[in-house]
A and B are shown apart, each in its own frame.
Chain A
Amino acid sequence: MSATALSVEGLRVDLHTPGGVLRAVDDVSFAVRKGRTLALLGESGCGKSLTAQSIVGLLDPIAEVTGGAVHIGGTDVLTLDHAGRRELAGPVLSIVFQDALTALNPVQPVGRQLAEPFRIHKGLSRRAAKAEAVELMARVGIPEPKARYRAYPHQFSGGMRQRLLIAMAVALGPDVLLADEPTTALDVTVQAQIMRLLSDLQSERDMAVVLITHDLALVAEQADDVAVMYAGNVVETGPVREVFDHPRHPYTKGLLDSVPEHAVKGAALPAVPGSPPELSAIPSGCVFQARCPLATARCADERPRLEPSGDGRATACHFTEELSRA
């Protein structure tokens, strides 16, 4: 088994809002090994993007990490100062954002933005950085990279922009790459191309990838492991195949049941009833109790912790035993 590239332990993120402090990410733990992909799966607002932004240290001012550790190569990056984080940003740890149009600077030629990591971290001259950037553009499949070096983001299609953004993120061959919904804004065929590119780059550079998404199909195709998030908590983790074939958490089970392929033709599509709790009204017991078909009095009183079951999986549910037998 290859070495752990990134491990997140007990991460907590609070939001400072006018209405008070809200806990948006609560006790989130997961680990990714070199060359492997972990999917952080969850609905919008479940805290998966905040988790990613905490790892790279790019939280908005209203959000604050209030607990936990993020280990990369033996260092807890949460304890680093600004300069220390900047040294890691690019060569060690990198992120691909969702919306490639706003993530590229509209008034700078794309080539310059691609050359920036080489200028900052390797101290290359303009000319040398340009050569690297052009090579990178060719690698991610931008046609005529030399000519397109001076083009601006608005002159590229959505898929091409996402390729540029990925190129920028992998420029220095980071150990850990976070991809925050990298294909959400793209149509399906382009989405497949982008994911293939991402996989190729991953095996080329032996990167650990954290894929943040709400797309079950994408997780099934791309990820080795999955961490299912609900209302700021990780409710289930494990190898994708096992978790998807035999979910041990009622939320995971509900999600998988709602996939159209599993539904009976002609019958109404099963859905998880209700909606996730507001951050200001997270119950004290299990976060999923209000929507859970199995909920009992115990679930209202006691929050289940994410308990490893010894087979590489972990679940946060009082009924794990029953569900694993099913």
Chain B
Amino acid sequence: MITFLRRRIVSSAIPLVFVVLGVFVLARLTGDPVNLYLPLSATEEQRAEFAAAHGFDQSILAQLWDYLGQVVRLDFGESLRTGQPAGEMVLTAFPATLQLAAVTMLIAIVGAVLIGSLAAYRPNSLADRVASFLSMTAASIPDFWFAIMGVLVFGVSLDLLPTSGVDGGAEVWVLPIATLLIRPFGVLVQVVRGAMVGALSAPYVKVARSKGASEKRVVFGHALRNATMPALTVAGDLTIGLVNGAVVVETIFGWPGIGKLMIDSILQRDFAVLQAAVLLTAVTIFVLNIVIDICYALIDARVRQPVAA
């Protein structure tokens, strides 16, 4: 298990290095911050002074070297917009995104396992066809459209729910979660259903029934654990998608998470914050991948143990 983990960590760390480099290069391709921050009327001296103050006057390699040194020390510099430390801004915004993602995935996984299993238990039954149709629809609805329709119907016409912000009780969560939930939920129901149909027709399920196992035992004791692997792969991917910004939802609902922070920093050429945000997201994905690998190994012994005769 330890060897398994060490191998997984090393192999996932390599892409992380590329992310660190890629962020630096791509951020500089978006335009010159000096032109953006200073008025058109700024003199050459003012421009040079601004560039010197933020290190933009140095060669790209020198800037990269500084950047890497800072990354190693977990110092991401200061925000061009607010003057606050970038790392601090990112860490302040991050929990809002994590909460949103965690609640969403929890609902999606529990719901999908129940509905997917129910649908798979009797393939082509009415319950199966309803579940398949609805989940297909859910998986196909564009989230930005759903979000705007939600705001229009429940926020404006019916005036039941707040349209943005985090101040208030449970009702502020409803629209953002519903928007984030709809696609992962639809996709997961389909995946769980497919995997469960396969698992329930496997010989070991027949064997379990031949031992007199109850249907509950057959479905949840034998089949579900075998169906978990494909569902876990997709769930992990969807979670990464959610953590990776929830950019649209956070922008529409004014949710102060990392997605909104990223969009704002891109629009403002706020390199320091952008780099910190992307890097934090990358680290989160790195950690998530390892967590998913650990889950695989816990669920299926074949992943962690060599085959022996």
B residues near A109, Cβ cutoff 8 Å? 301
Asked if A108 is at the interface of the complex by the 8 Å CB criterion, the answer is yes
- Contact status A95-B210, CB under 8 Å: yes
B residues near A95, Cβ cutoff 8 Å? 210
User: Contacts A152-B305, A155-B307, A157-B309 given: A99-B203 contact, CB under 8 Å?
Assistant: yes
A165 to B26 CA separation, bound complex (whole angstroms): 59
Asked if A196 is at the interface of the complex by the 8 Å CB criterion, the answer is no
Tell me, rounded to whole Å, the shortest Cβ–Cβ distance linking A13 to chain B: 16
- Contact status B309-A89, CB under 8 Å: no
Chain B: residues with Cβ within 8 Å of the partner, total of 26
Cβ < 8 Å to A, chain B residues 191-223: 201-204, 206-214, 217, 222
Asked if B225 is at the interface of the complex by the 8 Å CB criterion, the answer is yes
A residues near B225, Cβ cutoff 8 Å? 107-108
A112 to B302 CA separation, bound complex (whole angstroms): 17
Cβ < 8 Å to B, chain A residues 139-196: 152, 154-157, 165, 168-169, 171
A157: nearest chain-B partner, CB-CB:
B309
A171 to B309 CA separation, bound complex (whole angstroms): 24
Chain A: residues with Cβ within 8 Å of the partner, total of 36
Spot the interface stretch: A64-72, A116-124, A268-276, A314-322. Answer: A116-124
A160: nearest chain-B partner, CB-CB:
B309
User: Contacts A152-B302, A154-B302 given: A87-B212 contact, CB under 8 Å?
Assistant: yes
A89 to B201 CA separation, bound complex (whole angstroms): 19
A86: nearest chain-B partner, CB-CB:
B212
A85 to B309 CA separation, bound complex (whole angstroms): 36
Asked if B300 is at the interface of the complex by the 8 Å CB criterion, the answer is yes
- Contact status B204-A102, CB under 8 Å: yes
A152: nearest chain-B partner, CB-CB:
B301
User: Contacts A107-B300, A152-B302, A155-B308 given: A116-B211 contact, CB under 8 Å?
Assistant: yes
List 11 A-B residue pairs with CB atoms under 8 Å apart, sorted by A's residue number. A91-B212, A94-B210, A102-B203, A105-B222, A107-B225, A107-B226, A107-B301, A109-B301, A120-B217, A156-B309, A168-B211
A interface residues with partner B (beta carbon < 8 Å): 56, 58, 60-61, 86-91, 94-95, 97, 99, 102-109, 113, 116-117, 120-121, 152, 154-157, 165, 168-169, 171
